[in-house]
Amino acid sequence: MGRKILVPLDGSAGSEAVLPTVAELARAEGARIRLLHVAPPRVDAVVAAGRVVVYADQESARIEHELLDYLKKAAASLRGVEVEPAVRFGDPVKEIVNEAESARVDLIAMATHRRTGVRRFLKGSVAERVERATSTPVLLVRYGARVAA
């Protein structure tokens, strides 16, 4: 088994700032990259005018399909690296840590705002909470910063 790097993305260009760094690291180490997007918890059903319009499994499948498309597009920038996309539903911190453990990754690489002061207290940091919740090493890249590969 080769090395694996878990890269959580939130769907924004800022979170993708980690991709050039991870691509370079994966090429150097011969590692695979597992791109992960954690969506909000699944809904029971979509109801309009008192009628069920879409059932939970249909809506979840639609959302998962859209997110897998997004991850495949993000993977296009990782030429020469094996990429596995994954979509999970739930709390981002819990799902990232669970994915790291179940996929047996060697590293979690993600972008962070690295807020300070009151903004950090109010907004918190998924990356910081992941760091505290896992024994897997975590590589942080500044959110939105473009790093040359």
Contact indicator for 38, 131 with CB cutoff of 8 Å: no
CB neighbour class for 22 (10 Å; exposed up to 12, middle 13-18, buried from 19) = buried
What is residue 62's predicted lDDT score, i.e. its pLDDT? 86
Distances (CA, A) of 32 to 56, 73, 133, 148: 32, 17, 23, 20
Give per-residue pLDDT as tens, 117-140.
Answer: 554 444 458 888 999 999 999 999
What is residue 52's predicted lDDT score, i.e. its pLDDT? 57
**Residue whose token pair is 């959302």:** 63
Q: Which domains does the chain have, with CATH numbers?
A: 4-142 (3.40.50.620)
Q: Is the pLDDT of residue 72 over 90?
A: yes
What is residue 59's predicted lDDT score, i.e. its pLDDT? 75
Give per-residue pLDDT as tens, 26-40.
Answer: 999 999 999 999 998
Contact indicator for 52, 139 with CB cutoff of 8 Å: no
Give per-residue pLDDT as tens, 76-122.
Answer: 989 999 999 999 999 999 999 999 999 999 999 998 875 555 544 44
Dihedrals φ, ψ of 72, to 5°?
-65, -40
Q: Is the pLDDT of residue 2 over 60?
A: yes
